[in-house]
């Protein structure tokens, strides 16, 4: 199987023991796992249209990067905690189907491994005004679904990066003197923050702007929420 595909991460295990490694202290084994399995750059996850397979783009990963996971069940569990707990997973979908990609990935790796995820990048949630109800603002369904999945499955998530790009940057990077825009963003960011607060393990929220810098007002609102603002 091709280890470049996420589906290959979650497989059955062989019965062959890995002689010698279990005579080492767990701290030493974890150090070995880190040296072999932690990649310096993000692991970019994507999905071909109409496919259920999640693939990984990781150009600097070692050859047979995940072979260690296939030795036996104990190594698979110990090493899996390192793979998912110490690597940065970036979900590459700028359409309204990011939740499908996230759901497929979580299904593929299973709840045990999903529970170790600590560093994830997703699209910045889009807020919309409900048609016919000018004062009612809601998060787009796909983005809300993504946040719900993180709340339910990623119980050790400590660092969440949200990405602002040309598809979801409307109003975030455009200066406006319109008081309605100000009220909109106050309510929208408040709703996003409320969803993030449901993730008790989350300690750092980063917003990366790939489509120009944010407006001064947006910067002030995000800093008030203690989010970190960075260029893409």
Question: Which pLDDT score is estimated for 179?
Answer: 54
- What residues does each domain of the chain span? 1-96, 118-232
pLDDT at 98 over 50: yes
Do 4 and 58 touch, CB atoms closer than 8 A? yes
Q: How high is the pLDDT of residue 131?
A: 83
Q: pTM for the complete prediction?
A: 0.85
**Whole-number Å distance between alpha carbons of 112 and 10:** 11
Q: Judge whether residue 19 has pLDDT over 60.
A: no
pLDDT band for position 178 (50/70/90)? low
How do residues 143-162 score in pLDDT, each as one tens digit?
999 999 999 999 999 999 99
Contacts made by residues 219-228, CB under 8 angstroms, sequence distance 24+: 221/185, 221/186, 221/189, 222/189, 225/189, 225/193, 228/204
| pLDDT, mean of residues 166-174 | 81
Q: Which two tokens stand for residue 174?
A: 């455009």
46-92 pLDDT, tens digit per residue, is 998 878 899 999 887 777 888 888 888 898 899 999 999 999 999 99
pLDDT at 11 over 80: no
Q: Give residue 232's pLDDT.
A: 81
């Amino acid at each position: 199987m091709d280890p470049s595909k996420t589906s290959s991460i979650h497989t059955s295990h062989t019965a062959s023991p890995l002689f010698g490694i279990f005579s080492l202290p767990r701290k030493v084994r974890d150090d070995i796992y880190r040296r072999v399995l932690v990649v310096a750059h993000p692991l970019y996850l994507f999905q071909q249209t109409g496919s259920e397979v999640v693939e990984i783009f990781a150009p600097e990963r070692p050859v047979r990067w995940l072979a260690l996971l296939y030795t036996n069940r104990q190594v698979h569990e110990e090493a899996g905690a390192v793979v998912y707990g110490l690597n940065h997973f970036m979900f590459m979908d700028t359409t309204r189907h990011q939740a499908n990609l996230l759901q497929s990935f979580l299904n593929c790796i299973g709840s045990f491994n999903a529970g170790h995820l600590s560093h994830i990048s997703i699209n910045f949630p889009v807020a919309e005004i409900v048609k016919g109800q000018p004062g009612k603002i809601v998060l787009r369904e796909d983005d809300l679904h993504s946040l719900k999945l993180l709340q339910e499955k990623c119980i050790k998530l400590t660092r969440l990066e949200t990405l602002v790009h040309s598809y979801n940057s409307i109003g975030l990077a455009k200066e406006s003197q319109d008081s309605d825009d100000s009220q909109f963003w106050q309510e929208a960011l408040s709703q996003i923050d409320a969803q993030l607060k449901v993730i008790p393990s989350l300690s750092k929220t980063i917003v990366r702007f790939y489509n120009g810098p944010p407006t001064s007002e947006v910067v002030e609102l995000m800093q008030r929420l203690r989010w970190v603002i960075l260029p893409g």
